[in-house]
């Protein structure tokens, strides 16, 4: 019986090490990738996995999130002020121009990278959003929560 328990313990240890190794590998893999960027002047569509959200019309209900709309102004904020808010939420700005912002957010434990992309649309008075995990299947709702936190911060300043 004692020998059986030792074998079970060794197997459990090996499984834990293998799973941890897999997560470390996925974290490294996510840091090596880049955000998708604009495609024909628009944000990329969401992947089919439930680890992303997007504000474009036609996005399925699982992935759809409303664009960010200023509350008291018909003018969307400039991307420089939006960048400061993104950084305050823990993002690292990768690309910033007049209408587009790309940022990366990294998880503390394994360093998984999520992309946040914002596209300012002055004609509609909104900021379109795409947020997605680079690797894995589920993000446990992290990207949706991050976009809602950003929305709350941006709409509070308006």
Going from N- to C-terminal start, the domains of the chain cover 2-157
The mean per-residue pLDDT over the stretch 135-152 comes to: 89
Any alpha helices (H) in 89-141, and if so which ranges?
Answer: none
pLDDT attached to residue 6: 86
Band the pLDDT of 117: cuts 50, 70, 90: very high
pLDDT attached to residue 83: 93
Secondary structure class of 3 (helix, strand, coil): helix
- Helix-helix angle 142-157:79-88, to 10 degrees: 130
- Which CATH entry fits the domain spanning 2-157: 3.30.310, 3.40.720, 2.170.15, 1.10.10? 3.30.310
The mean per-residue pLDDT over the stretch 99-113 comes to: 85
Residue in the structure block whose two tokens are 């976009």: 147
Task: Please check whether residue 143 is in contact with residue 114, taking contact to mean a CB–CB distance below 8 angstroms.
Answer: yes
**47-105 pLDDT, tens per residue?**
888 899 999 888 888 999 999 986 545 556 778 889 999 999 999 999 999 999 999 99
> Is the predicted pLDDT of residue 142 greater than 70, yes or no?
yes
- Rounded Cα distance, 91 and 143, in Å: 12
């Amino acid at each position: 019986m004692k020998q059986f328990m030792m074998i079970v313990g060794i197997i459990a240890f090996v499984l834990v090490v293998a799973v941890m190794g897999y997560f470390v590998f996925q974290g490294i893999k996510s840091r090596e990738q880049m955000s998708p960027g604009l495609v024909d002047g628009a944000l990329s569509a969401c992947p089919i996995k439930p680890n992303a959200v997007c504000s474009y019309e036609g996005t399925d209900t699982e992935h759809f999130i409303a664009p960010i709309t200023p509350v008291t102004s018909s003018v969307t904020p400039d991307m420089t002020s939006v960048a400061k808010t993104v950084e305050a939420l823990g993002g690292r700005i990768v690309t910033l121009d007049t209408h587009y912002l790309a940022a990366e957010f990294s998880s503390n434990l394994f360093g998984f990278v999520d992309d946040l992309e914002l596209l300012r649309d002055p004609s509609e008075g909104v900021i379109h959003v795409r947020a997605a995990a680079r690797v894995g299947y589920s993000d446990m709702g992290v990207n949706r929560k991050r976009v809602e936190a950003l929305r709350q911060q941006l709409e509070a300043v308006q």
